Structure 1
Amino acid sequence: MQPISTPPLVPFLSNGPKLLFIDGKPVPARSGKTFQTINPATGKVLAEVAQGSAEDIDIAVKAARRAFEGPWSRWRPADRQQAMLRLADLIERNYDELALLDTLDLGAPISRTTLGRKRAGALLRYYGGLATSTHGETIDSSFMPHESLTYTLKEPVGVVGAINPWNGPIGMAIWKLCPVLASGCTVVLKPAEQAPLSPLRLAQLCAEAGIPDGVVNVVTGLGDAGAALAEHPGVDKVAFTGSTDVGRKIVRASAGNLKRLSMELGGKSANVVFADANMDSAVAGAAMAVYMNSGQICSAGTRMFVQRPIYDEFVERVAAFAKSIRVGDPLDEATQMGPVVSAEQLERVCSYLEIGKAQGARALAGGARLTEGALAKGYFVPPTLFVDVRDDMRIAREEIFGPVAAALPFDTVEEVIARGNDSEYGLGGGVWTRDLNNAHRVAKGLRTGTVWVNCYQVLDPAVPFGGYKMSGFGRESGNEHMQEYFETKAVMVKLDS
């Protein structure tokens, strides 16, 4: 294996600790505390980052409230749209830097993080269009005289607390930001402490695009900062992406002022491969449905259901595919999979590898962390495929959030739908088949927010994404996403005759 590259100099990482971004400018945490963000490929410190607390959250929320009630409230939809278009241009021009920050902070291969440029620009331009096309409606009232006018207004919900995970730092931050800007809300963003760098740089680009002070605030910190944001009485809505366990805590924290919530939580998605599927496409597609981003995707297709006539051949081919994936230096363009994000996540994933074996599963590929050679100091787990798996095993029921797939045979459509739904989660799902009847039956039968047919993990700004059951509620992308950020006001006017 090639040694890990020395990271290039990034201007953003120079000049001391990375500061919070509140009310249009970088500021230190009120406590003066910092925490370290670590390069997961090397285990070395990347930067010192300001450790925001409840006090900093309070300052940021108040700045967001002033902006919401002040200059920002007077911006017309077309003004917000133009600012979003300027921001899209700036992000695209600076995307190499943003992608590099994510590669260093998250460990995702540079070949993957740079692919986000197209989606980032597309999201901002799509929501920029929604800024000028969202409207209320007129209603012909049945309980007012004919001399009346009844209509609805769409009004921004107010100050949004956005709390993001670490598995897609810049992409998630932009996704949360888009409906805020388009609707006229303001935001306090709490990025994950494992990968806080690119969201801080994004806030600077927002200011450069001319977005008023206080509209976009970023408070880095640990879990206590996120908890303070979730329960702050000045926050009108929380948009959260992360684990189901933390989601439960946010629901409880929101009760004080009955915040509006949208939550994209965990998953244990079923990826169903029928015997008539295009084998080459299904092997690669089902494998990367798990191994992309080192398995750190909530909707990863980690329960691989394979119809029995092709099961043996299919799992052998997926195992061979897994072994061919180039795991290594995230800065190398040829690398296909990097490390998991942190030592804590490494320990979690490796514990599930041992649990799987202890419960009788067999690793056909992978099965243990990399402990020798150039990658030994990083947090690397090879793509792992378990066979001899039962539905009741923990590796088939619990979200691992690592590059670990469980392959299970099935016989009939009815059976696989029932087994696919036998989960507390319902975020994603996949079907690989040439039979349209089977494709539609499974797509309709699975209780999950998205079903991909003969593809996986395809996201589009216009297509809503979100979960059923313990995978959350609310949707991101599409017009459904925008409605999460509006209040609907009814106006009923009796006119003089």
Structure 2
Amino acid sequence: MFSRTVYCGAKAATAHVARYQLRCFSQFPLSVPINLPNGLEYEQPTGLFINNKFVPSQQHKTFEVINPSTEEEICHVHEGREDDVDIAVDAADKAFTNGSWSTIEPAERGQALYRLADYIEKDADIFASIETLDNGKAISNSKIDVQLVINYLRYCAGAAGKFDGRLIDTGKTHFSYTRKEPLGVCGQIIPWNFPLLMWSWKIGPALAAGNTVVLKTAESTPLSALYACKYVARAGFPPGVVNIVSGFGKIVGEALSVHPKVKKIAFTGSTATGIHIYQNAASTLKKVTLELGGKSPNIVFADADMAATVQNIIMGIYFNAGEVCSAGSRVYVEESAYDSLVDQFVKASESLKVGDPFDETTFQGAQTSQNQLSKILGYVDIGKKEGATLLSGGERVGDKGFFVRPTIFGDVKESMRIVKEEIFGPVVTVTKFKTLDEVVDLANDSQYGLAAGIHTTNINNAIKVSDRLKAGTVWINTYNDFHHAVPFGGFNASGIGREMGQEAFDSYSQVKAVRAKLQ
């Protein structure tokens, strides 16, 4: 998908004519005008962002960004390599050691984050449109994302002055206390499913704590984070505090994870890649947080409000076209309510509008890439071959764009791959259970442990089950219901550490103990 062709204005330079390429490299724009399908226009930055400036990549390479809804090229952006990572890390390290950010009044850091949130809020329609253009998600989903970004940056701004240590009473002979200090340069690697939201989840707590960052965007969705950087300097962040190197995981991600000047790695993505990054980071004993995959159970008891529960299941599995790590992809329904619930769920799923993501009435937009669409349809075939019953969906929509119908499988066995493996798309399995103990065992029978849902009007059962589930987040009578003050992260193969809440700030600071002997 990602070409190495380099653009010179509107013209492409061929790979064979080196002299012509060199002329074009110097002319490759650091921004391009974009006309959005909803009539909005804006200027899209395409360079790397280092020291508060958009700059070309050192090796003058670019890659194309595809619109998942049309399969057409949006633009090319500069592709970072190892030398670009070195430059960005050096800029971040200098900004940290010179104290222009790490040692200023915490309130000043908070004010810069508040201003950044204000700029995003003023430009919210453009940001939402970029997410929809670049990622393929429905514009209604993108607007939710942008508001979550604004809320979280403001939450981080308010926390900037609250990195307090404590006074420790160790007797009259010594004065003992702790202080929380920033780590230094933080390398951050974000996924393609929530480009702007994950950008905020990463930079917000890191900057509030006084760190500097070098962030790698996902190669398929780099546009919104680059656009956000046009406001970094205006918001009051000194040069080098926020840096973005667009590029590929095997190059930029690898370089960040082993770089000796990077003190912390934060990664959101697949479990397999997270394990690799964790191993790399061990070579320099970096602090690491990993928000990884999931195969989350969504449990329905017979006493639940079924109409509300169906909508919660829909939000759990089809929100963001199912490209959600916490997606409720395993639905367990109490036996006496199974037939009724499945009937309502199938009808509701088939009424959802799939298509043009810029249409305000669309619920589910496109999958983000051809690879993801192929993976989803491949799992549909696997489910059929394994003997599951396809109750609804399971097919591509249209012949252009990466669209797929919401898909429901019944008559599944727990050993089936569609039950065990993360599909990362709008595909759900539905299973009966008889007892509370049985459903807890079924829910916990997974290598993952990111999230879970419980639907019941019996609060006692809700608490009993939530206490026994091996999941970092349990939603009761709701699903995919995030709040900036509530930590999010997983157990087991779903990761290490937490995003959001006070716990995220703890991951971006270290404790220093001071003990002075009194005379």
Alignment partners' CA distance in 1, 2:39 and 2:282: 46
1:79 maps to 2:108: yes
Residue 177 of structure 1: how far off its partner (Å): 1.0
Q: Are positions 1:210 and 2:247 aligned together?
A: no
Gaps of 5+ in 1: none
**What are the superposed Cα offsets for residues 66-118 of structure 1, whole Å, 9 maximum, x if unpaired?**
00111223311011011111111111001111111110000011122112333
How big is the shift at 1:137? 0.3
Question: Aligned pair 1:21/2:49, yes or no?
Answer: yes
SS in 1 for 2:233: helix
Q: CA deviation at 1:407?
A: 0.4
Alpha-carbon distance between aligned partners in 2 of 1:464 and 1:178, rounded to the nearest angstrom: 14
Checking the alignment, whether the CA contact within 8 Å between 1:157 and 1:485 is kept in structure 2 is yes
1:68 and 2:99 matched: no
**Matched residue of 2:298: which SS?**
strand
Q: 2:84 aligns with which of 38, 56, 71?
A: 56
Question: 8 Å contact 1:369–1:380 — kept in the other structure?
Answer: yes
Query: TM-score when scaled to structure 2?
Result: 0.91
2:210 corresponds to which of 184, 189, 193: 184
- Contact 1:385/1:407, CA 8 A, preserved across alignment: yes
Which residue number corresponds to residue 289 of structure 1? 316
| Distance in 1 separating the partners of 2:139 and 2:63 | 25
> Match for residue 303 of structure 1?
330
* Cα shift at 1:424: 0.2
Structure 2 residue 42 is matched with structure 1 residue 11: yes
Aligned to 2:390: 363
| Separation (CA, whole Å) in 2 of partners of 1:437 and 1:115 | 32
Matching residue of 1:263: 290
**Residues 346-385 of structure 1 aligned to structure 2 (within 5 Å):** 346-370=373-397, 375-385=398-408
Alpha carbons 2:146, 2:196 under 8 Å: kept: no
- Corresponding position of 1:108: 137
Corresponding position of 2:124: 95
Q: CA deviation at 1:7?
A: 5.9
Aligned with 1:425: secondary structure? coil
Instruction: Answer whether contact 2:254 2:277 (CA < 8 A) is retained.
Output: yes
For 1:480, the equivalent position in structure 2 comes to: 503
2:180 counterpart residue number: 154
Spell out the pairing of 1:216-255 with structure 2 (5 A cutoff). 216-223=242-249, 224-255=251-282
- How many angstroms does 1:119 deviate by? 1.8
Quote how far apart the aligned CAs of 1:287 are: 2.0
1:338 to 361, 365, 386: 365
**Aligned length in residues:** 482
1:322 matched to 2:345? The reply is: no
For 2:510 and 2:292, the matched residues in 1 are separated by 24
Indicate if the aligned counterparts of 2:127 and 2:146 stay in contact, CA closer than 8 A: no
The counterpart of 1:424, out of the listed 436, 447, 464, is: 447
Q: CA RMSD in A?
A: 1.2
**C-alpha contact 1:7 1:104 (8 A) present in aligned 2:** no
C-alpha separation between the residues in 2 aligned to 1:116 and 1:340? 17
Tell me what 1:164 maps to: 190
1:186-218, Cα deviation, whole Å (9 max, x unpaired)? 000101011000011112211221111100001
Paired letter, 1:199: A
For residues 369-423 of structure 1, what are the alpha-carbon distances to aligned partners after superposition, in whole Å with 9 as ceiling and x for unaligned?
22xxxx3210011100000111110000000000000001111000100110000
Counterpart in the other structure of 1:199: 225
Q: Deviations over 1:151-174 (max 9, x none)?
A: 001000111011000000111101
Give deviations 1:408-443, integer Å, cap 9, x for gaps. 111100010011000000000000001112111110
C-alpha deviation, 1:297, in angstroms: 0.2
CA distance in 2, matches of 1:347, 1:383: 15
Question: How far apart in 1 are the matches of 2:114 and 2:281?
Answer: 33
**Secondary structure, aligned partner of 1:426:** coil
Structure 2 match to 1:36: 64
SS in 2 for 1:112: helix
Structure-2 separation of matches of 1:112 and 1:272: 24
**What SS does the aligned partner of 2:43 have?**
helix
Q: Structure 1 CA distance, aligned partners of 2:449 and 2:102?
A: 38
Note the C-alpha offset of 1:6: 4.2
Between the aligned partners of 2:114 and 2:40, the Cα distance in structure 1 is 29
Q: Distance in 1 between matches of 2:182 and 2:103?
A: 12
SS at match of 1:64: helix
CA contact under 8 A between 1:157 and 1:237: conserved in structure 2? yes
1:285 to partner: Cα distance = 0.8
- SS of the residue corresponding to residue 102 of structure 2 reads helix
Give 3-state SS (helix, strand or coil) of 1:237's partner.
Answer: strand
